[in-house]
Amino acid sequence: MRVAILTLAPATNYGGILQAWALRSLLADMGHEATVVSLRLRPAVALRYGVGNFLIRHHLHPTKRYYVPSHSEALRTTAELRRFIAEQVAPATPLSPKALQRAGYEAFVIGSDQVWNPDYTRPFGAENFFGDFLTESDSRPRIVYAASMGGDKWRFTPAESEKIGALLSRCKAVSVREQGVCKVLGERFGVASEWVADPVMVIGRQRLLQVAGCELSEEYTFAYLLDPTELKNAIVQQVAEGQKVKIITSPKPHEVIPSVEEWVAGFAGARRVVTDSFHGVVMSLVLGKEFVAVGNAARGMARFTSLMSAFGVGERLIDEQCADTTALFSKPIDWQGVEKTMTALRNRSTEFLAKSFEK
């Protein structure tokens, strides 16, 4: 079956890139011809962004806080990420909602990642990520896989919510990434949904190591920090206990962004991991790495608590003010229990996808 995977466009976020690759791979394993698609910005939004970036680049360039790279600079710094996306994800050119409807796909999978976070999706039309690009009479299957709101609070407007309720009722199957969202959908819309795993978790350890061309080892402490601070850096040094440290953080202006393979290899070669990223936690669990997660409230705590409580590692979620991590690592993670939970969740997730395509 020709399947469109509607997700946020893979760009410079490692987790976003890998989840698109993993979901496409899972659907291909099931025999589908899956294509990752994204939507174009709404025309008014695209114009506003274009004018804003022009003004920032030409009038506020010295102010680093507002730095916007030129097109050639962006191409240079993101070259390795774009190579991986082209080779492994092979996304279609961004489409308008009407063009997506007419593109000839036989089914649509919406997800995964934060496709229900209105902060990210409103520029494209938030309702489209609930299937609004299809007409009411269109009978092609709409399947939601591992959608995330970035938290467990409903943040859509009343007008959006009214429309979303009707759209959800037309979906053949709905699944979410955070357990709390199942309750939200049930109470607000009477919609049944399932809690499933992020595609990166479902794809598993061997496929991740294979795509990165690396093996497991324990050579250093690896830090993957989306929002580095002095306090987080201090935690990294404390966890490393004087041993070698390798760090990947959000890039600074002019810095070349490391490849996806290098990012995966960073986790694979770690003795311990420090991260403030949801997908950093996913990678640590899948690759069996002792880790601590520094809570990232600005990006949504429910994503961390839902995942980590399910795997019995809730005590590994700390805040920046944590004075001593020694006690955390004195008690190793119950990896046998983690693997048991992961196997059950993987099976549930693949079964959800398989059943969603049954007639």
Task: Give the DSSP letter of residue 87.
Answer: I
Q: Is 57 helix (H, G, I), strand (E, B) or coil?
A: helix
Tens place of pLDDT per residue across the chain (359 aa): 999 999 999 888 999 999 999 999 999 999 999 999 999 987 665 556 555 555 555 555 555 555 667 778 888 999 999 999 999 999 999 999 999 999 999 999 999 999 999 999 999 999 999 999 999 999 999 999 999 998 889 999 999 999 999 999 999 999 999 999 999 999 999 999 999 999 999 999 999 999 999 999 999 999 999 999 999 999 999 999 999 999 999 887 788 999 999 999 999 999 999 999 999 999 999 999 999 999 877 777 888 999 999 999 999 999 988 878 888 899 999 999 999 999 999 999 999 999 999 97
Exposed, middle or buried by CB within 10 Å (0-12, 13-18, 19+), for 233?
A: middle
State how far the alpha carbon of 44 is from the alpha carbons of 62, 123, 124, in Å: 28, 9, 10
| Fold (topology level) of 2-201+345-356 | Rossmann fold (3.40.50)
Single-letter code of the amino acid located at 114: Q
HSE-up of residue 163 (Cα within 13 Å, Cβ side): 15
Exposed, middle or buried by CB within 10 Å (0-12, 13-18, 19+), for 313?
A: buried
Q: Sign of dihedral through CA atoms 11, 13, 19, 25?
A: positive
Are residues 25 and 19 in contact, defined by beta-carbon separation less than 8 angstroms? no
Q: What does CATH list as the number for 205-334?
A: 3.40.50
Spatial strand order of the sheet with 107-113 comes to 33-37, 2-6, 107-113, 142-147, 173-176, 194-195
Q: Do domains 2-201+345-356 and 205-334 have the same CATH topology?
A: yes
Of 76, 131, 89, the closest CA to residue 108 belongs to: 131
Instruction: Spell out the domain ranges in the chain.
Output: 2-201+345-356, 205-334
